[in-house]
């Protein structure tokens, strides 16, 4: 096999196929599918992925691969195939699909080193390799290439004796710790102890330690254990009794926290009933997609854990996806507690280096379970036994940039390849998934009751218009305020929830009604109290609040709406004695802040937790007995056919935070539209009825799950250009589709301008259109030139979740 097919790193139509390259003699056997290589391309040298090897090419005069980038494939065969699938499903370029599967550290600029594995036996290495590593544990990539030893090194790499490390400049630094070890034989140490003067107790302690303990010790730990400092060991090192070295440790995203080991609970009858079909699927090695529909607290996580346990017994691996915001320490604890070091955790809060570390643990088969957000669905396991997606209805499972994939689709595709089950879990399944379960495409499993049959909390819906009529202008209804006071007295805890999405705190002139908009986007600026700034959430534009109205010069210019900051101020006024912790993007932007605030709340440092979406999930504190939703409607009025579904889901989630333990819980939902079915039915916690109502609405308006939708968004700095391109695209699509399909457009996008670019769109609703994908791809290809030069942007989403 001396020819490699390579997908080069040039995202364009003409290069979206494999190019053949000769494998130079010294690299034969080294280059494998799934490795990245450097290849000459035109006048340049660029990166590419090897997708296959072959004996012959249809092309004459092939150029040669310049050098490999990896020693081991970074993509296995399954992931290479998955890349093709992703390309077809999301209309992205192959190179983008491959890159989406790798951690960022592998994509950035890096330095490469070859490192001798810690447990490698030098004696057993081939002569040539041994000499390369003669006086060192690591050599540079350049040295490795120069010596012509790559094939040998590659063999050792696949034996696990050598590792190739990508060092992203500045950003990724391997974390190292100092270790101490005995550098002399035990009898020498013992001799020396005898000779030490009586007052040298500390030195004695150290030597005694190494007499009794085999292996190296962490210097810091030893220092604190024995109460010694560097001066104690300095002399011992000079005498050759102790040695010191630096070793790399994985950065630990959850600190040095010890996770208490947990044992499997004995399952309830209901849990047993739902786990049996899952275990059958695992044992029979048959793919099946399950929808585990169970209210919060019904014991779903325990079912996940025991299913994974079965998978591990078979020597297979598991992927668990959880939404980014519920990837909290509490969540991680449940998996690490059960499976310990076999668990890797991947989420966006990790630095590039930390993510890379976790990925390497998977690559090196050091872990068997990964718990992570969306992109963890690409974890390079080779022997998958189950994929679990918790809170499957969460829209964060959809990636909103290229490749625009949904993790659920990827999970199912991988599970089909591995012949293993997918478990989708939720208390409020997405309409799409529940409909599939109803039709028998997914296997529906239901956990109807909470553990210990705890009642769901009582929910009160308060009509805020009524409050206003009765003269209450505050953002707290009388009922809510009374209950807050009651809980404060009883020293119980309260969660106040504010959905900040939408125009929550804009700046408006009270005299003329002028609202301050972003100068670059057609959307109002959001007021931030802490620095008196107004900010555009779309383009990042910031400005000071003006002293006078730009329109009428009135000085009565104020901010409106109820952002979390404003609620906090209000609380301070009416309940000065109450301690409040606020959680929103502003207070949690620093790394670890999220976790710290939650810990503080759990430890009882505050009685009220006030926050946005991010507090809606995962919180499970025994002392929370009241949950207040300040305004349930903010999301209802977004121009999105899923707004009712999202409102229902969110309200149900939030309500689930109350009374999960012995103390009974209560929920108050404040709203201006109490009659809306999504609010009313969230109050009743009646998913089944909501599903029925919402399905009717979707059917009438021809939305998913009855129809598929695809969205084409065009943007350009010139309005006319955006309109005319959208018109042409719409016409073209129309001509390609059957009469049954509906094309809506061209129309201005709900946000008609972002960052000085005008936005137009066309929405396609269809049931079956096998030609749609290829037609849309043609459109992209056709406008490629305009897109490449940056003037025009055409984005196509085959399953949009954001319709703005
Ligand atoms: P969910 O994931 O559906 O929200 P959990 O799995 O977190 O539910 O279960 C809710 C609570 O019940 C947790 O505190 C959990 O430890 C406990 N629990 C779950 N299964 C059992 C069981 N079989 N026996 C006893 N307690 C259980
Ligand atoms: Zn004005
Ligand atoms: Zn803007």
Write out the residue limits of the CATH 3.40.50.300 domain(s) in the chain.
Answer: 269-447, 458-502+562-698
> Is there a binding annotation on residue 762?
no
Q: Is the pLDDT of residue 172 over 70?
A: no
Best of 301, 303, 450 for a ligand 1 pocket test (most atoms within 8 Å of beta carbon) = 301
Write out the residue limits of the CATH 3.30.70.600 domain(s) in the chain.
Answer: 708-797
Q: Highest-confidence range of 70-79, 419-428, 542-551, 575-584, by mean pLDDT?
A: 419-428
Q: Is the pLDDT of residue 504 over 60?
A: no
Predicted confidence at residue 135, as pLDDT, reads 74
Predicted confidence at residue 287, as pLDDT, reads 98
> Is there a binding annotation on residue 536?
yes
> At 59, is the pLDDT very low, low, confident or very high (cuts 50, 70, 90)?
confident
Atom number in ligand 1 closest to CA 390:
2
- pLDDT tens-digit map of 648-682: 998 888 887 776 666 778 999 998 888 899 999 99
Q: How far is the CA of 630 from the centre of ligand 2 (A)?
A: 29
> At 589, is the pLDDT very low, low, confident or very high (cuts 50, 70, 90)?
low
CA 167 to chain centre: 23
Best of 299, 307, 429, 687 for a ligand 1 pocket test (most atoms within 8 Å of beta carbon) = 299
Q: How far is the CA of 505 from the centre of ligand 1 (A)?
A: 39
Q: Is the pLDDT of residue 561 over 70?
A: no
Range in 139-143, 235-239, 754-758 with the lowest mean pLDDT: 139-143
Find the mean pLDDT for residues 307-332.
Answer: 89
Find the mean pLDDT for residues 428-441.
Answer: 97
Find the mean pLDDT for residues 461-466.
Answer: 90
> Is there a binding annotation on residue 420?
no
Ligand nearest to the CA of 266: 1
Find the mean pLDDT for residues 699-726.
Answer: 94
Q: Is the pLDDT of residue 694 over 90?
A: yes
Torsion over CA of 49, 51, 52 and 56, rounded to 10 degrees?
-70
Predicted confidence at residue 265, as pLDDT, reads 94
Q: What percent of the chain has pLDDT over 70?
A: 93
Q: How far is the CA of 515 from the centre of ligand 2 (A)?
A: 8
Find the mean pLDDT for residues 318-326.
Answer: 87
Q: Is the pLDDT of residue 97 over 70?
A: yes
- Asked whether 335 and 306 are in contact (CB, 8 A), the reply is no
Buried/exposed code over 259-285 (b: 16+ C-beta within 10 A; e: otherwise): beebeeeebbebbeebbeebbebbeee
Closest CA to 654 of 607, 599, 609: 609
Pairing assessment for the beta strands 44-54 and 110-116 based on DSSP bridges: unpaired
Beta bridge partners of 344: 370
Predicted confidence at residue 502, as pLDDT, reads 39
Q: Percent helix, strand, coil in the chain (nearest 5)? A: 35, 25, 40
Predicted confidence at residue 618, as pLDDT, reads 59
Q: In the 3-class helix/strand/coil scheme, how is 402-434 assigned residue by residue? A: CCCCEHHHHHHHHHHHHCCCEEEEECCCCHHHH
- pLDDT tens-digit map of 126-139: 888 888 887 777 88
Best of 307, 451, 652, 660 for a ligand 1 pocket test (most atoms within 8 Å of beta carbon) = 451
Q: Is the pLDDT of residue 112 over 80?
A: no
Atom number in ligand 1 closest to CA 427:
3
Widest Cα–Cα separation across the chain: 98
Find the mean pLDDT for residues 323-333.
Answer: 77
Range in 216-230, 242-256, 486-500 with the lowest mean pLDDT: 242-256
Let me know the angle formed at the C-alpha of 431 by 429 and 434, rounded to the nearest 5 degrees: 60
> At 170, is the pLDDT very low, low, confident or very high (cuts 50, 70, 90)?
very low
Question: Which CATH superfamily hosts domain 458-502+562-698?
Answer: P-loop containing nucleotide triphosphate hydrolases (3.40.50.300)
Predicted confidence at residue 251, as pLDDT, reads 57
Greater confidence (254 vs 114) lies with 114
Q: How far is the CA of 651 from the centre of ligand 1 (A)?
A: 21
CATH number corresponding to 3-102: 3.40.1440.60
Find the mean pLDDT for residues 763-783.
Answer: 92
Burial class (CB in 10 A: 0-12, 13-18, 19+), 531: exposed
Q: Does domain 269-447 have CATH number 3.40.50.300?
A: yes
For residue 415, what are its two tokens? 């599970």
Question: Which residues have CB under 6 Å of ligand 1?
Answer: 265-268, 271, 294, 296-302, 451
- Asked whether 584 and 564 are in contact (CB, 8 A), the reply is yes
Q: For the residues of 156-224, what is the DSSP string, one character each? A: HHHHTSEEEEEEETTT---EEEEEEEE-S-HHHHHHHHHHS-TT-HHHHHHHHHHHH--S-EEHHHHHH
- In the structure, ligand 2 is a single-atom ion and the residues with CB under 5 Å from it are 509, 511-512, 514, 549, 551-552, 554
- pLDDT tens-digit map of 189-231: 888 888 888 888 888 888 888 887 777 888 888 888 888 888 8
Greater confidence (452 vs 173) lies with 452
For residue 342, what are its two tokens? 């076999």
Q: In the 3-class helix/strand/coil scheme, how is 481-517 assigned residue by residue? A: HHHHHHHHHHCCEEEEECCCCCCCCCEEECCCCCECE
Q: What is the rounded distance in angstroms from the CA atom of residue 535 to the CA atom of residue 526?
A: 5
Find the mean pLDDT for residues 108-133.
Answer: 77
Q: How far is the CA of 560 from the centre of ligand 3 (A)?
A: 19
Which residue has a Cα nearest atom 9 of ligand 1? 299
Predicted confidence at residue 503, as pLDDT, reads 40
Q: How far is the CA of 560 from the centre of ligand 2 (A)?
A: 14
Q: Is the pLDDT of residue 23 over 60?
A: yes
> At 171, is the pLDDT very low, low, confident or very high (cuts 50, 70, 90)?
very low
Find the mean pLDDT for residues 244-251.
Answer: 70
Q: Does domain 708-797 have CATH number 3.40.50.300?
A: no
Write out the residue limits of the CATH 3.40.1440.60 domain(s) in the chain.
Answer: 3-102
Find the mean pLDDT for residues 460-484.
Answer: 90
């Amino acid at each position: 096999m001396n020819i490699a097919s390579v997908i080069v790193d040039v995202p364009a139509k003409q290069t979206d196929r494999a190019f053949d390259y000769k494998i130079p003699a010294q690299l034969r056997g080294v280059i494998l599918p799934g490795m990245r290589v450097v290849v000459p391309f035109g006048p340049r040298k660029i990166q590419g992925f090897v997708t296959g090897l072959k004996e012959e090419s249809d092309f004459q005069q092939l150029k040669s691969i310049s050098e490999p980038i990896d020693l081991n494939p970074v993509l296995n065969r399954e992931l290479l195939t998955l890349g093709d699938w992703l390309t077809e499903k999301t209309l992205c370029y192959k190179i983008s699909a491959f890159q989406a599967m790798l951690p960022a550290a592998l994509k950035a600029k890096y330095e490469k080193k070859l490192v001798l594995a810690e447990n490698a036996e030098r004696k057993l290495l081939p002569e040539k390799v041994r000499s390369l590593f003669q006086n060192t544990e690591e050599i540079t990539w350049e040295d490795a290439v120069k010596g012509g030893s790559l094939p040998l090194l590659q063999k050792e790499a696949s034996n696990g004796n050598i590792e190739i490390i990508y060092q992203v400049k500045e950003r990724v630094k391997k974390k190292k710790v100092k270790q101490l070890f005995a550098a002399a034989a035990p009898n020498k140490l013992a001799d020396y102890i005898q000779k030490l003067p009586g007052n040298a107790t500390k030195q004695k302690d150290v030597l005694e330690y190494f007499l009794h303990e085999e292996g190296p010790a962490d210097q810091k730990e030893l220092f604190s254990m024995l109460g010694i400092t560097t001066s104690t060991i300095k002399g011992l090192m000079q005498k050759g009794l102790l040695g010191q070295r630096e070793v790399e440790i994985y950065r630990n995203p959850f600190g040095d926290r010890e996770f208490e080991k947990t044992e499997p609970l004995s399952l309830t009858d209901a849990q047993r009933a739902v786990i049996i079909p899952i275990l059958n699927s695992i044992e029979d090695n048959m793919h099946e997609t399950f929808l585990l529909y169970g209210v919060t607290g019904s014991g779903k996580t325990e079912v996940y854990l025991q299913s994974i346990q079965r998978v591990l017994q078979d020597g297979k691996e598991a992927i668990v996806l959880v939404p980014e915001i519920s990837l909290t320490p509490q969540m991680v604890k449940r998996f690490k507690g059960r499976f310990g070091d076999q668990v890797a955790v991947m989420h966006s809060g990790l630095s590039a280096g930390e993510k890379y570390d976790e990925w390497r643990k998977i690559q090196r088969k050091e872990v068997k379970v990964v718990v992570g957000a969306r992109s963890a669905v690409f974890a390079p396991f080779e022997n998958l036994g189950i994929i679990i997606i918790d809170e499957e209805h969460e829209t964060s499972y959809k990636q909103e940039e290229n490749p625009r994939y949904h993790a659920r689709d990827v999970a199912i595709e991988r599970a089909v390849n591995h012949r293993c089950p997918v478990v989708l879990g939720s208390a409020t399944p997405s309409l799409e998934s529940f409909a599939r379960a109803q039709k028998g495409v997914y296997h529906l499993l239901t956990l109807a009751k909470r553990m210990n049959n705890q009642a769901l909390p009582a929910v009160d819906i308060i009509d805020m218009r009524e409050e206003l009529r009765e003269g209450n202008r505050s953002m707290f209804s009388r009922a809510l305020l009374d209950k807050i006071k009651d809980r404060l007295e009883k020293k119980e805890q309260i969660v106040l929830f504010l959905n900040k999405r939408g125009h929550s705190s804009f700046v408006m002139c009270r005299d003329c009604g002028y609202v301050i908009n972003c100068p670059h986007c057609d959307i109002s600026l959001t007021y931030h109290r802490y620095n008196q700034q107004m900010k555009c959430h779309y383009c990042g534009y910031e400005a000071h609040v003006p002293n006078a109205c730009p329109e009428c010069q009135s000085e009565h210019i104020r901010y409106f709406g109820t952002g979390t900051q404003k609620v906090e101020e209000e609380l301070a006024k009416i309940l000065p004695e109450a301690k409040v912790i606020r959680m929103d993007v502003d207070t949690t932007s620093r790394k670890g802040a999220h976790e710290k605030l939650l810990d503080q709340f759990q430890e009882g440092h505050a009685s009220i937790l006030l926050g946005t979406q991010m507090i809606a999930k995962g919180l499970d504190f025994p002392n929370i007995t009241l949950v207040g939703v300040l305004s349930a409607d903010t999301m209802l009025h977004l121009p999105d056919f899923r707004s009712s579904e999202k409102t229902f889901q969110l309200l149900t989630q939030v309500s689930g935070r109350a009374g999960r333990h012995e103390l009974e819980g209560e929920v108050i939902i404040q709203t201006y539209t109490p009659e809306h079915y999504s609010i009313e039915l969230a109050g009743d916690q009646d998913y089944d009825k909501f599903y029925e109502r919402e399905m009717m609405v979707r059917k009438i308006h021809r939305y998913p799950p009855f129809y598929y939708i695809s969205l084409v968004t065009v943007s350009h700095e010139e309005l006319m250009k955006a309109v005319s391109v959208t018109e042409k695209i719409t016409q073209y699509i129309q001509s390609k589709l059957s009469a049954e399909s509906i094309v809506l457009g061209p129309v201005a996008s709900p946000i008609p301008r972002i960052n000085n670019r005008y936005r137009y769109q066309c929405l396609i609703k269809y049931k079956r259109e096998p030609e749609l994908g290829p037609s849309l791809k043609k459109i992209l290809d056709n406008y490629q030139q305009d897109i490449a030069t940056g003037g025009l942007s055409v984005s196509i989403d085959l399953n949009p979740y954001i319709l703005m």
